[in-house]
């Protein structure tokens, strides 16, 4: 299994918003869902996307999207605005779950389950394209991963880089999928 975890410092934790961008940059969460889960005309059945939202009114909220189980979801931003508003307001959507697990607990659980854990950062060792087993990649949002949270994750894993350029979080996920697809 390949999993991505986006730490969103500001993403709203309820569905009371007018647009994803105005909801503490939930548009970045949408973009990362798109590059994690969607291929052309298919979902990635071996990918799970997580985002931990730390914005108002009641953080944290952990959203999980399973590529294997996701149904009734198109790729456009307007559709995802509706889906994210709905699940953040407590409604159900196939393949999506919402709970209150903080990032630290997710990382500890994945580590206990035998996942290899990586922090994606332009400052890490170059990522190897050949990776066996279950993998979890942790990313920051437009501001980046807070240093103390990065330090926590690095107790369980290592920092890997896609090169010296700073990419969008969604682009970084696309590059990881591309590299691992070719391995
Ligand atoms: C828009 S960047 C964050 C920019 C932020 N100002 C910073 O310095 O972290 C969003 C996330 O994409 C990932 N990322 C961006 N460029 C990367 C690279 N060259 N290698 C690995 N990960 C990268 C990192 O996880 C980063 O936190």
pLDDT per position as a tens digit, 22-75: 999 999 999 999 999 999 989 999 999 999 999 999 999 999 999 999 999 999
Could you give the CA distance from residue 44 to residue 11 in angstroms, rounded to a whole number? 24
For residue 22, give the nearest of 102, 108, 105, 84 by alpha carbon: 84
> Distance between CA 34 and CA 80 in Å, rounded?
10
Mutation to probe ligand 1, out of 122, 128, 157, 164 (largest number of atoms < 8 A from CB)? 122
Confidence at residue 130, expressed as pLDDT on a 0 to 100 scale = 84
Q: Which residues have C-beta atoms less than 6 Å from ligand 1?
A: 120-122, 139-140, 142-145, 161-163, 165-169, 172
Mean local confidence (pLDDT), 159-183: 95
Q: Where are the alpha helices (DSSP H) in the chain?
A: 26-37, 77-88, 103-112, 147-154, 169-181
User: What pLDDT shows up at residue 158?
Assistant: 96
The closest-lying atom of ligand 1 relative to the alpha carbon of residue 169 is 12
pLDDT of residue 124: 87
Give the pLDDT confidence score for residue 131 in this predicted structure.
Answer: 85
Q: Are the CB atoms for 86 and 15 separated by under 8 Å?
A: yes
Sign of CA dihedral 101, 149, 135, 90: positive
CA–centroid distance, residue 125 to ligand 1 (Å): 14
- Is 62 strand, coil or helix? strand
Chain segment 85-138, per-residue pLDDT in tens: 999 999 999 999 999 999 999 999 999 999 999 999 999 899 998 888 999 999
Is the pLDDT score of 159 beyond 90? yes
Contact of 48 with 67, CB cutoff 8 Å: yes
* CA-proximal residue: ligand 1, atom 8 (nearest): 144
The pLDDT score that the predictor gives to residue 93 is: 98
pLDDT score recorded for residue 183: 62
Q: For residue 146, is the peptide bond before it cis, meaning its omega torsion is within 30 degrees of 0?
A: no
CATH of residue 37's domain is 3.40.1280.10
Task: Provide the domain count of the chain.
Answer: 1
Ligand 1 probe mutation, 169, 173, 177, most atoms within 8 A of CB: 169
Question: Is the full-model pTM beyond 0.85?
Answer: yes
Per the structure block, which two tokens stand in for 122? 């332009």
Domain enclosing residue 29, as ranges: 2-181
């Amino acid at each position: 299994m390949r999993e991505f975890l986006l730490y969103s410092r500001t993403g709203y934790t309820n569905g009371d918003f007018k647009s994803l961008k105005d909801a503490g940059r939930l548009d970045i969460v949408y973009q990362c869902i798109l590059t994690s889960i969607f291929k052309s005309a298919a979902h990635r059945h071996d990918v799970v996307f997580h985002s931990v939202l730390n914005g108002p009114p009641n953080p944290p909220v952990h959203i999980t999207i399973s590529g294997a189980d996701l149904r009734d979801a198109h790729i456009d931003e307007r559709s995802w605005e509706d889906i994210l508003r709905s699940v953040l307001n407590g409604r159900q959507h196939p393949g999506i779950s919402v709970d209150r697990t903080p990032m630290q607990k997710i990382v500890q659980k994945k580590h206990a389950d035998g996942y290899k854990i990586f922090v994606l950062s332009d400052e890490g060792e170059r990522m190897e394209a050949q990776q066996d087993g279950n993998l979890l990649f942790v990313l920051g949002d437009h501001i980046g991963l807070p240093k103390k949270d990065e330090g926590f994750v690095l107790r369980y894993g290592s920092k890997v880089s896609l090169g010296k350029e700073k990419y969008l979080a969604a682009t970084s996920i696309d590059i990881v999928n591309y590299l691992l697809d070719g391995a």
